[in-house]
Each structure stands twice: as structure tokens, then as C-alpha cells.
């Protein structure tokens, strides 16, 4: 099925992008990039609904965006109605905003993405091995879920 030129309900991917780069190095690189973009946030990804684009162990830089500039296919980070921070792609406009859906999810998220709950758009993705020598520091970085629709 295609909505606004964006394919939805794809076959599930289970393999995540792999690299020899440690999670610590990916976080450091992401933080250096974020420091050059006012208001940018660094977040860890938890889950696999956005594979093969990113999954567990990936790090994203999230940049604020004016909601009127949102377009189908953009990957955004927002807060859903359960208070969870989610990283999914926009699939269609609806009354009051946008529907979002994980690349591997068969259903769209139940929360409409709008100006009130939008955190930003994924500006850059850093893949890592998922391994860290500095677990306490990694845990201090906020995470975004790439998880089943809720």
C-alpha cells in the first residue's frame, strides 16, 4: 500500500545496520554534530520498528522543525498519548496533524503528530555496534522508541 508516495506495511526486518563503531563513539559523534545545530538533541534508539533505517543501538540527532514544513516520509520524534517518546515516519496528513508509522509496523500509531507533541525531525543517524564501555553515561542520554504501534 502507498500513501502520499510512501510505502506502508512493509515486511519486517530483523537485522539492524551494523558497524564496528562503539555506542560511545557514535554518541560522541552525534553530540559534536548536535553542538553545531542550535536546539538539536541527541537520542538513543530502542526497538526495531524502523529497521533497516535504524534500530537498537543507533543514535539520532533530532532537530526542531516548523510543523508546517513536515512532509510524508520524514522521520520525526514525538511524544505519544502514553507519554512515550517515539521515532517513526510520517505517512499521511489527517485532521489535526499527521499519522506516523514504524517502517515495520502494519498499523499506524494511534497518536496524531502535531505541533503540541512534535519534538523534531531526525536530522542524522549514527549506527553503532551497540556496545558501550560507559554504560552509565549512555543511560543518561534520552531514548526514543522505534517500537510497535500504540
Q: Which domains does the chain have, with CATH numbers?
A: 16-145 (2.10.109.10)
pLDDT score of 30 more than 90: yes
Instruction: Write the pLDDT tens digit of every residue in 35-80.
Output: 999 999 999 999 999 988 888 889 999 999 999 999 999 999 999 9
pLDDT at 142: 75
| pTM, 2 dp | 0.83
Q: What is the 3-state secondary structure (H, E, C) of 28-88?
A: HHHHHHHCCCCCCEEEEEECCCCCCCCCCCCEEEEECCCHHHCCCCCEEEEECCCCCEEEE
Instruction: Write the pLDDT tens digit of every residue in 126-147.
Output: 998 777 776 656 677 878 888 8
Amino acid at each position: 500500500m502507498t500513501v502520499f508516495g510512501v510505502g506502508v506495511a512493509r515486511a519486517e526486518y530483523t537485522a539492524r545496520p551494523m558497524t564496528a563503531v562503539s555506542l560511545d563513539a557514535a554518541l560522541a559523534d552525534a553530540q559534536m554534530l548536535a553542538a553545531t545545530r542550535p536546539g538539536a538533541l541527541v537520542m538513543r534508539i530502542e526497538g526495531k520498528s524502523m529497521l533497516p533505517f535504524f534500530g537498537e543501538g543507533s543514535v539520532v540527532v533530532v532537530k526542531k522543525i516548523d510543523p508546517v514544513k513536515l512532509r510524508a516520509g520524514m522521520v520525526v520524534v514525538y511524544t505519544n498519548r502514553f507519554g512515550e517518546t517515539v521515532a517513526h515516519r510520517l505517512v499521511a496528513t489527517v485532521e489535526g496533524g499527521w499519522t506516523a508509522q514504524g517502517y515495520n509496523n502494519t498499523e499506524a500509531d494511534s497518536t496524531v503528530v502535531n505541533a503540541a507533541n512534535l519534538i523534531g525531525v531526525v536530522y542524522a543517524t549514527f549506527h553503532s555496534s551497540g556496545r558501550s564501555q560507559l554504560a552509565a553515561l549512555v543511560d543518561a542520554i534520552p531514548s526514543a522508541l522505534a517500537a510497535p504501534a500504540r
